[in-house]
Amino acid sequence: MKVVIVGGVAGGASCAARLRRLDEQAQIVMVERGPYVSYANCGLPYHVSGVIEQESALLVASPQLFRTNFNIDVRTGCEAIAISRADKTVALRDVATGDVVHEPYDKLVLAPGAASVRPRLPGVDLPGIFEVRTVPDARAIRAWLNRETGALAGMYSYSGTQFVKPERRAVVIGGGFIGLEMAENLAHAGLDVTLLEMQDQVLAPLDPEMARLVEEHLGRHGVRLVLADGVAAFRAVAGESLEVDTISGRTFPADIAILALGVRPDTTLARAAGLAVGPRGGIKVDDSMHTSDPHILAVGDAVEVADYVTGEASLVALAGPANRQGRIAADVIAGRPSRFRGSQGTSIIGLFGAAAAWTGVSEKTLQRRGDTDYEKIYLFPNSRAGYYPGAKMLGMKVLFRRSDGRLLGVQAFGEDGPAVDKRISTLAMALQMGATVYDLEEAELCYAPQFGSAKDPVNFAGMVAADVLRGDMPLTHWGVEDGAFLLDVRQPVELTVEHVQGAVNIPLGELRQRLGELPRDRDIHVICRSAQRAYYATRILIQNGFRARNISGGMLSRALSTG
């Protein structure tokens, strides 16, 4: 059996290595149009700043390793340009010489990845404008930043002690993963950074109020955010500098500009071969990674997969799913029954020591689908035991079914990045296993004060959500007060910092003695800082015959919803 794999990074390389472990007799050819295979493109922004010092650290496996250890015919600088499905051949062009050969196959695996979006804008091809997709991209950015120009000549290039250095300015276009990671790393490299984002939030998978936490954190670390405004043009100015014009008419000077506008699945080869393309523009595959041609499989960023929660077709440009799909394709080719269960989009991004992470669906996705069978809670637990030094608050949003408590999605942000990772990774596995919030209540997790609390944030999320579903904590949210009586149970001193117009303040410790001051013919919505004291107050009120609801997340969630 001869298998040709087009693409040698995450999905393609995983498929090749797995297939060899399953079938020693198969003839495996892996082609990659670039100069490298199996490299860590997720590490590119960190190489730009020097956090990852050596370029070689990004090269996970070399062509020679694949040849020696796996007996795989690896051809770099080799581009697949056409597929003849009738002849079962793929045309391969040598990038350097232009020579074309027609390689026969029994099975063909497409893993071409996704291409960076590069809009046709005035000046987009000027020097100093870069994408961040490959190792050569990172190399070019480093060379540009380290170049000697008139602005960087003289005393700045002198080998002695420097007291004044010219300010260098970067404009990053795009507020997704690469855009934010490049903004962070350019800031680490000493540049003044402005980030432009066409939408009104960064990190589109997050709900807007959770994105606000990320945006505030970026601002505290010196990244200038310009939201709801896209790039319109680039212009060259003196000294190899640029000016970036926006749609709204603003102009930002830049010594370097980074295009991070996202990626599109590379379907050129598949479309030309007449393979089916899905509604999101990716190669259509079934759960065994077969395309519409039974002899051709496809994996990675170029394919559409089912969303694990909604079942909708989705594009997931993540290394984890790509690697799993590559393994599944290898299993299927080798005759083993294997299925891809879909992706829940579990992701994390680190920013200046903090992290934002998520898994499952967002509320805006549920609303777009017209799905009303859900509830949400906000909670703000500590990352570890509050009495242990270094505890940081985590902001969490949890979405679950009203009807049966099934977990639907979770989003989190916190300045303790590893603590965010731990909780979302745990909740991602729970979601994958079909867990309910009642399961989260009972989850038995590691505990020591430097790592967490006896009641972990995962447990806490389950307990709060279960209280809502059992009716122990009737819930409401900001913006749906509907003429309710607002009761603030914080201490008076807290109201000097922030308060809600029209709310009546009765501190929790005085509530039982002052029940006569509250109306019995109106809904009472209870407020505190994070909703914990409001929960205690709600229990008191309900058991004394009042119609009370806790405003989820308290003043902390109000700050998010009001920006």
CATH number at residue 361: 3.50.50.60
Q: What is the pLDDT of residue 41?
A: 84
Last residue of a domain, one of 425, 448, 470: 470
Which CATH number characterizes residue 488's domain?
3.40.250.10
pLDDT at 420 > cutoff 50: yes
Q: In this structure, are 249 and 268 located in the same domain?
A: no
What is the percentage of the chain residues whose pLDDT exceeds 90? 88
Whether 271 is in a domain gets the answer yes
Q: What is the pLDDT of residue 285?
A: 97
Long-range CB contacts (< 8 A, 24+ apart) of 283-290?
Answer: 283/110, 287/339, 287/340, 287/341, 287/342, 288/328, 288/332, 288/338, 288/339, 288/340, 289/325, 289/328, 289/329, 289/332, 289/340, 290/332
- pLDDT bin (cut points 50, 70, 90) of residue 165 is low
The least confident of 59-63, 176-180, 471-475, 552-556 is 59-63
**C-alpha–C-alpha distance, residues 296 and 108, integer Å:** 5
Mean pLDDT score, 367-390: 95
Q: What is the pLDDT of residue 59?
A: 85
pLDDT at 552 > cutoff 90: yes
Other CB atoms within 10 A of residue 312 CB: 16
User: In three state form, how does the secondary structure of 359-376 look?
Assistant: EECCHHHHHHCCCCCCEE
Q: 358: part of which helix (H) or strand (E)?
A: strand 354-360
Q: In this structure, are 97 and 199 located in the same domain?
A: no
pLDDT at 99 > cutoff 60: yes
Whether 156 is in a domain gets the answer no
Q: What is the pLDDT of residue 150?
A: 45
In the chain, how many domains are there?
A: 4
User: Do 72 and 66 meet the contact criterion of CB atoms below 8 Å apart?
Assistant: yes
pLDDT at 216 > cutoff 50: yes
Q: In this structure, are 287 and 245 located in the same domain?
A: no
Q: What is the pLDDT of residue 77?
A: 95
Which strand ranges, in their side-by-side order, compose the sheet holding 283-284? 283-284, 303-306, 313-315
Q: In this structure, are 222 and 311 located in the same domain?
A: no
Whether 341 is in a domain gets the answer no
Q: In this structure, are 306 and 369 located in the same domain?
A: no
Q: In this structure, are 257 and 272 located in the same domain?
A: no
pTM for the model: 0.92
Other CB atoms within 10 A of residue 154 CB: 9
Whether 401 is in a domain gets the answer yes
Q: In this structure, are 484 and 466 located in the same domain?
A: no
pLDDT digits (tens, 9 = 90+) for 219-274: 999 999 999 999 999 999 987 799 999 999 999 999 999 999 999 999 999 999 99
118 three-state secondary structure: coil
Q: In this structure, are 194 and 246 located in the same domain?
A: yes
pLDDT at 121 > cutoff 60: yes
User: Pick from 307, 311, 272, 262: which is nearest to 293 by CA?
Assistant: 272
Whether 257 is in a domain gets the answer yes
Q: In this structure, are 354 and 460 located in the same domain?
A: yes
Whether 520 is in a domain gets the answer yes
Q: What is the pLDDT of residue 60?
A: 84
Burial of 210 (0-12, 13-18, 19+ CB in 10 A): buried
Q: In this structure, are 110 and 84 located in the same domain?
A: yes
Q: In this structure, are 461 and 363 located in the same domain?
A: yes
Q: What is the pLDDT of residue 167?
A: 81
Whether 124 is in a domain gets the answer no
Whether 155 is in a domain gets the answer no
Q: In this structure, are 256 and 197 located in the same domain?
A: yes
Last residue of a domain, one of 470, 495, 526: 470
Q: Which residues constitute the domain of residue 513? A: 475-560
Last residue of a domain, one of 215, 246, 261: 261
